[in-house]
Structure 1
Amino acid sequence: MTRRVTGKVVTPTGVIRQGCVEIRDGRISAVADYPSVRDGHWIVPGFVDMHTHGGGGHTFTTGDPESARQAAAFHLGHGTTTLLASLVSSPFALMRDATAAFRPLVEEGVLAGIHYEGPYLSADRCGAQNPEFLRDPSTAELTELIELGGGAVRMVTLAPERDGATAAIELLVARGVVAAVGHTDASWEQTRAAVAAGASVGTHLFNGMRPVHHREPGPVVALLEAPNVVCELVADGVHLHDGMLGFATSVAGPERAALITDAMAAAGMPDGEYELGGQAVTVADGVARLSRDGAIAGSTLTMDAALRHAVDAGVALPDACRMVSTTPARAIGLGDRVGALQTGLRADLVVLDDDLNVVRVMRGGDWVE
């Protein structure tokens, strides 16, 4: 059976104003002009969130599989058809248990993989990460987790200045896992060394990093200037000023800038008291902060809201669509499967109205109820 979705189709090369996406057996079989279309909705690729801790009142950070399933379903309703379940800095036992619990969800396709944000992070730049659990990278721990995951472990964020970081990056890359630089006080030189060792992602650029200085560029500049590094950006107006969002996008380009949510369980929920990695979080006016010191504690963002915010900030819609879909898919090694409206890829798409609000979501050729 062939299904057609018509409207203003956003492809990797531009917009087909009168377009059609043809779907067969869960995959895109054709993308073409469809002259009979008049004033249709926007048709954009399904969003790919490479960094999220939860949403809809549910979390990935405790390793509970039912909570993970519900969090993924929440984000799917906002157009995220592919996501990584991000943990926070935790004891090794929790990392191991969560990996074992999430592996079936990855095999089922509910999750695209697991992301460890920590615990191999800087104590000086830990942000909302629990300092109690921070430690130096361990190749023994990582090897056990990767083997336990059976392909489920897809990305690890670490601080390159910590002892053992280079060996950890080399191990990750050799095992097909993305090494990301984040929550770091590294120098420009240390960050460049991490990139040379194989690190290919900058975790929520600017946030949890030594700031830029004209005599000490630090990690931000090293990551922005590296041609093989994808830089994550949280487009919520809280993590980044819109001027900085625009600056980073102009430097990296949409092919190296990926929008993420960094969402926690409070996404889509009322203001109130929440928890992240064993720490109390207060959400007020939609902004999540640690109760003890006011540090930003993830976000309440969804990917559709991130897309709207980026467009409102001046990013052209086709570029913003690359940043929420194509670029993150490629960054986590899934660009040959998802992330664009092109022939052969899984039929993941989002129908948006002219205000870029979600109308319908399709995943694998089926409309999401």
Structure 2
Amino acid sequence: MRSTTPVIILAGRLGAGKTTLLNHVLRHAGDRRFGVIVNDFGAVNVDALMVARQVDGVVGIGNGCVCCATDSDGFEDSVTRLVRTGVDAVLVEASGIADPRSMIRRVVAMADPIVAYGGLVYVVDAATGDAVLPREVLAHARVADLLVVNKADLVDAGCVTSIGDRLVAVNATAPRVITAEGALDPALLVDAAARADVAGPEQLTLDALLRDAAGADRGGRAPIRHDYEQYTWESAGAVNPRAVARLLERPPAGCYRIKGWVRVESDFYAGSLEFSAVGGRIRAARRPARDHAGAAANVLVLIGIGMDQAQARADCAALTDVTADDEFGALSLLRYDPATVAAPGDASVGDVSAG
């Protein structure tokens, strides 16, 4: 099991296509294992939920695990249980009337060391034909880490462009994906953890059946693929930890998440730091150098849609400009490590939001 499990919030107004997107992600998960928390019983197209008729219970679906939470009081408990089932990420489908900002606060505030905020995916309904977009949608889009303009096949290109312009006006840095039928690539959300191969025959799991059914619906064609972008930077030697922190806190426009590790050399701390970041929210952990034997001392992978590649290259190139005698520069990254003990007068450390 990975050291932390991202909890990804899926939000949008009623009818925007959240459940359709969720079902698409589950059908095209590949080797990824998702946990799912839904507010509306039976909303997810998974037969196990309909058969089990459980409420606030965990229902296994082969490679994944579904927890149907119908009240807010059970939310933290549901998340805590799911992150310990070996899933790669937990997807939380918010009610169409829920305020995603409050859900973000609840996830970020959880004390569970395994829980990591994995971003807000906000679905906008292009088919409303209202390029102005309601004030509520704009307010929620402003805090989104990934914007999905869904049902784009039902409107003309001019409407999609107008909606995009309105979204850029309130959130210029979040990646924006144009979709039909909620066709979002799961690879944009999370990586699959390495798992041992199963020896011998095994029962066909429900998630595999769903994927097979999806393939049959397309006449045996390959699964739908999407063009997300990835920029990888590698270097030897030490980096400027303050520059790394700036990049993680303010990633290039269009970047959804950043992962990797860096080598820090200072009087205060010398060693390797592994991290993941979504929308400026960062999680870091100290790692022995031997954990990355055979790999470069510093590796960063930036993933997004419509990412500013030139800015990504420039930001990464600046990471090797090490400032001499910056004794406490490492604290700019160590403060995102929950294991770091704050010195007197320091700000609290851990899973901190850049704001």
TM bucket normalised to smaller: 0.3 to 0.5
Greater RCO between the two (CA within 8 Å, min separation 6)?
1
TM-score (norm. length: structure 2): 0.34
Report which of the two structures shows the higher radius of gyration computed on alpha carbons: 2
